[in-house]
């Protein structure tokens, strides 16, 4: 029997170190399992917290029936600082294609966070056992900026299955974290291969490959990719393929002040290093070209930044180092102005794919090239 990760997210410090992650809330979200099994377990993260936090209650539902999750035999439990804590295995039969509804009630604030699930909804109070959930209105700032409710602290859901799955990890920024191309690609993989392959999301909004963004907002953008790669990618058993989708934010921070950190030479050297580390483990590497971002910020995106993006993309396409190059830039850009995303494919901010843009990306992936399967 093998524990197969069916859902995951990369942890980052929560916005304003937890200011907006108030305690006494229940977050509710669905997870679809591509594998069958008899038991489920959850993993909680507290790598950024300065003190333990308390999970008040957790339930997992299939077909509407809530099953309490325990840790150390207790329904309310504390997550210590500095690492990860698994729940007790939960006896819960799961069939491939089943959707699990997870309800997680926080009795105190947690520092580890990410926003990756558009379907996640946070409710004041404990609603882990409610038959009917209350009405709740999404905060105006989340509506304005297309932000999701965060699934705080939880970083993995696993199913114990007889067959071992091959994991594909998408390592990226908000374009990845928002799941607009990940979820339809997951569906295509499941339709073609069943549970043989599982696609996981290791995206963090605002993340860079080479640069850790300073300031009040910067901490919530996570550690730079080269620093978190070991934990967020290589930490998975059964790793088969990595999709590298980082760099779009790096070029937006390129300036005279940062050119010692962010440069063509530094970027290509970092990618080659990651590629070498993966090859040593027999793991395949897929690299996405960097999508356009002109228009995302009214001021500040310079011709030098765009030139760096174009140069990096030319190298990705031509270097011959990767198992598969996915040309997201060519797919999403405006044919008349290649520095911009086609207006049909972004969510109104000239950067992040909307539903149509995400589906366009997912549909364009060659599944045999992605997985390395033979014809």
What confidence score (pLDDT) does residue 19 get?
Answer: 47
Q: What is the mean pLDDT of each run of 10 residues along the chain (375 residues)?
A: 96 67 84 97 94 95 92 97 96 96 93 85 93 82 72 94 95 96 98 97 96 87 96 97 98 95 98 98 98 86 97 98 98 97 96 97 98 83
What confidence score (pLDDT) does residue 298 get?
Answer: 61
CB-CB contact of 370 with 360 (8 Å): no
Quick one: tokens of 61?
């539902």
| DSSP designation for 336 | S
Quick one: tokens of 365?
């992936």
What confidence score (pLDDT) does residue 149 get?
Answer: 83
What confidence score (pLDDT) does residue 79 get?
Answer: 95
Tell whether pTM > 0.75.
yes
What confidence score (pLDDT) does residue 112 get?
Answer: 86
């Amino acid at each position: 029997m093998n524990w197969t990760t069916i859902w995951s997210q990369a942890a980052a410090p929560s916005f304003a170190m937890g200011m907006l992650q108030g305690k006494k809330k229940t977050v509710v979200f669905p997870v679809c399992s591509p594998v069958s099994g008899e038991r489920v377990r959850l993993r909680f993260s507290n790598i950024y917290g300065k003190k333990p936090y308390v999970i008040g209650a957790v339930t997992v539902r299939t077909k509407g029936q809530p099953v309490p999750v325990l840790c150390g035999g207790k329904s309310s439990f504390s997550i210590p600082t500095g690492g990860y804590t698994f729940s007790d295995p939960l006896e819960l039969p799961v069939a491939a294609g089943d959707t699990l509804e997870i309800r997680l009630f926080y009795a105190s604030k947690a520092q580890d966070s990410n926003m990756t699930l558009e379907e996640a909804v946070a409710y004041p109070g404990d609603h882990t056992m409610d038959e009917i959930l209350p009405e709740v209105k999404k905060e105006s700032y989340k509506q304005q900026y297309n932000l999701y409710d965060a699934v705080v602290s939880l970083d993995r859901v696993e199913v114990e299955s007889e067959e071992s799955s091959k994991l594909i990890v998408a390592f990226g920024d908000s374009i990845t974290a928002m799941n607009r191309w990940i979820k339809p690609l997951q569906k295509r993989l499941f339709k073609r291969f069943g549970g043989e392959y599982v696609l996981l999301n290791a995206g963090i909004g605002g993340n860079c490959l080479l640069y850790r963004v300073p300031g009040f907002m910067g901490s919530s953008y996570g550690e730079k990719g080269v620093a978190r790669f070991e934990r967020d990618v290589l930490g998975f058993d059964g790793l088969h393929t990595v999709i590298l989708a980082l760099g779009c934010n790096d070029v937006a921070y390129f300036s005279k002040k940062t050119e010692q950190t962010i440069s063509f030479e530094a970027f290509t050297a970092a990618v080659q290093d990651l590629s070498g580390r993966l090859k040593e483990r027999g793991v395949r590497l897929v690299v996405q070209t960097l999508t356009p971002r002109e228009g995302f910020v009214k001021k500040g995106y310079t011709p030098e930044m765009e030139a760096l993006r174009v140069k990096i993309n030319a190298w990705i396409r031509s270097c011959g180092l990767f198992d598969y190059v996915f040309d997201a830039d060519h797919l999403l850009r405006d044919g008349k102005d290649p520095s911009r995303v086609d207006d049909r494919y972004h969510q109104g901010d000239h950067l992040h794919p909307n539903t149509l843009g995400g589906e366009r990306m997912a549909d364009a992936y060659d599944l045999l090239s992605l997985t390395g399967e033979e014809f």
